C-alpha cells in the first residue's frame, strides 16, 4: 500500500480542512455553542492523551454534542492538531455534509468500506494524525451494555500491517440527561491508551472486547463526576 501524503487521496473523499472555515467553526462551537448550552464542561484524564504521533480516539456516542466535546478536549487548541472524524456516508450529504467535508471529516460505508477510504485512513495515521471513530456506530441513548463494531480493531490492524503502530484511547462521555438538555453539565474522560496485539479475527474480537470494557470504565468515571450512577 502506498504511503502518499494524505492530501493525494483527499479529493476523491473530502475537502480536507478549510483554513478559513475551521477557525470560524471552532469559535462558533467552542466559544459559543458549548458555553451557551452547557453549564459546565469538564475534561478528565488529559494525561492519557498523546500529543503527537498516530492516534485513534474511541469515544462512547450519546449525542451529536460528542464531536464538539472531542474537539474541545483534543482539538487544535489543546494538542495543536485537528480531530479527523470518520463518519457515515449519509452524514456527508446536504448542508451538514458541505460543512463536514471542509472540517476534516471523511465518509466510510460501515457495511462495506471502500479501498480508497481505508487507504486514506492509513495515510492519515502514517502522517501522525489523530482520528476519531465511534465504535458503537451510532448514537446510543439507552442504558445498555456497550456493543462495538470490530471496524476500529481491523483499521488498527491494517495500519499495523503498513508499519504504523497506533495507540487507541478509550473515551467516555456523559451528560446530565440523555439526551442532554440545556443547562446540563458535560464530562469527557480519556482512559489509558490500548495497544493491539496480533492479527486476524480472534485478535480483533479480543481487542474489541477489551476496548468495550475500557470505554465502559471511563464512561462510568464521567458519570461519577456528574454525580450520576453508572
Q: Are 196 and 205 in contact (CB under 8 A)?
A: no
Considering just the CA atoms, what is the radius of gyration of the chain in Å? 17
For the entire predicted model, the pTM comes to 0.92
pLDDT of residue 106: 87
The C-alpha cell that represents 104 in the structure block: 476534516
pLDDT of residue 7: 56
Q: Rounded CA gap, 102 and 107, in Å?
A: 12
Q: Are 82 and 75 in contact (CB under 8 A)?
A: yes
Residue with cell 440527561: 177
pLDDT of residue 11: 66
pLDDT of residue 230: 63
pLDDT of residue 9: 67
Q: Rounded CA gap, 149 and 26, in Å?
A: 30
Q: CA-CA distances (angstroms) from residue 85 to 78, 145, 223?
A: 17, 24, 24
Domain boundaries, the chain: 15-225
What is the block-wise mean pLDDT of the chain (230 residues), using blocks of 10 residues?
Answer: 50 82 94 97 98 97 96 95 90 89 84 80 93 93 89 92 95 96 97 93 95 97 90
Of the CATH numbers 2.60.40.10, 3.40.50.11710, 3.40.1130.10, 1.10.287.610, which one belongs to the domain with range 15-225? Answer: 3.40.1130.10
Amino acid at each position: 500500500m502506498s504511503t502518499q501524503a494524505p492530501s493525494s487521496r483527499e479529493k476523491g473523499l473530502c475537502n480536507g480542512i478549510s483554513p478559513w472555515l475551521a477557525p470560524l467553526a471552532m469559535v462558533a462551537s467552542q466559544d459559543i455553542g458549548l458555553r451557551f448550552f452547557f453549564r459546565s464542561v469538564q475534561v478528565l484524564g488529559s494525561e492519557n492523551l498523546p500529543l503527537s504521533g498516530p492516534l485513534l480516539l474511541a469515544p462512547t456516542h450519546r449525542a451529536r454534542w460528542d464531536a464538539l466535546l472531542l474537539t474541545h478536549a483534543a482539538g487544535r487548541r489543546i494538542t495543536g492538531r485537528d480531530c479527523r472524524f470518520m463518519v457515515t456516508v449519509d452524514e456527508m450529504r446536504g448542508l451538514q455534509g458541505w460543512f463536514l467535508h471542509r472540517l476534516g471529516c471523511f465518509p466510510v460505508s460501515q457495511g462495506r468500506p471502500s479501498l480508497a477510504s481505508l487507504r486514506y485512513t492509513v495515510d492519515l495515521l502514517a502522517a501522525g494524525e489523530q482520528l476519531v471513530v465511534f465504535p458503537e456506530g451510532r448514537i446510543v441513548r439507552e442504558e445498555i451494555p456497550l456493543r462495538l463494531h470490530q471496524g476500529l480493531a481491523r483499521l488498527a490492524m491494517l495500519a499495523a500491517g503498513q508499519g504504523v503502530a497506533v495507540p487507541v484511547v478509550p473515551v467516555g462521555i456523559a451528560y446530565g440527561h440523555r439526551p442532554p438538555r440545556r443547562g446540563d453539565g458535560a464530562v469527557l474522560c480519556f482512559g489509558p491508551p490500548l495497544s493491539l496485539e496480533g492479527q486476524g479475527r480472534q485478535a480483533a474480537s479480543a481487542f474489541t472486547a477489551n476496548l468495550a470494557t475500557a470505554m465502559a470504565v471511563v464512561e462510568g468515571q464521567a458519570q461519577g463526576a456528574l454525580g450520576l450512577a453508572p
